[in-house]
Amino acid sequence: MSIPAQTIYPRTGDRQTVYLNAVVKDPNISVGAYTMYNDFVNDPVDFEKNNVLYHYPINRDRLVIGRFCSIACGAKFVFTSANHTMTSLSTYPFPLFFEEWGTPISEVAESWDNKGDIVIGNDVWIGYEAVIMSGVKIGDGAIIGTRAVVTKDVEPYTIVGGIPAKSIRKRYSQDIITQLEAVRWWDLPHDQLKQLIPAIRSGSPEALLRAYHALNQ
């Protein structure tokens, strides 16, 4: 399903909250519909500059964020180029300063150890000033606590927090999580989704599953 075109500001008179897919320009950043970012310190339109760090084109790594995510003020996505290589005897990035040391410009990306893309699922809540490190994958429905530093993958519908972030608990049983992952309500057409909002807001996954199956009979 194609992502619908969206306004930058979803709330009248609110210039602190934006739909991210309406403001990102970098082709290596992909954001799903209705994912929002709130910033009461900086202009949220500058999300790429202020929140996506060390994301240099030479490395070709990607930031992928799903639909209906909620990203709080100051959350950061720190990419591979922030790292220094651990495979060298020295952590000093000699290839980065190729003009000084005569290393081939083609070796610039060897200044760091490549960790890969950052991939955020759907319906993920990322708390205030949380930091997501390169190579991390966060599953659907996960919650990232305030100022957590996420260095490892987070399973779907799991709450994590701390430095480094550790699992606190699952939001639901594994059986319910499996069913929610199969339903993928976030991919439904707008009109169908509006009908399911009462069930979603009820807090009962069972109510959502019943409403979804009734809608698709």
* Residues recognised as catalytic: 84
155 sits in the region (left: phi over 0; alpha: psi -120 to 50; else beta) called beta
Number of other residues whose CB lies within 10 A of the CB of residue 13: 5
Measured in whole angstroms, the distance separating CA 43 from the mean position of its chain's CA atoms is: 19
Give me 82's structure tokens.
């922030």
Contact assessment for residue 158 and residue 177, using Cβ atoms and an 8 Å cutoff: no
Picking from 77, 58, 52, 195, the residue whose alpha carbon sits closest to that of residue 131 is 77
Q: Could you give the maximum distance between any two Cα atoms of the chain, in Å? A: 68
Picking from 18, 37, 52, the residue whose alpha carbon sits closest to that of residue 127 is 37
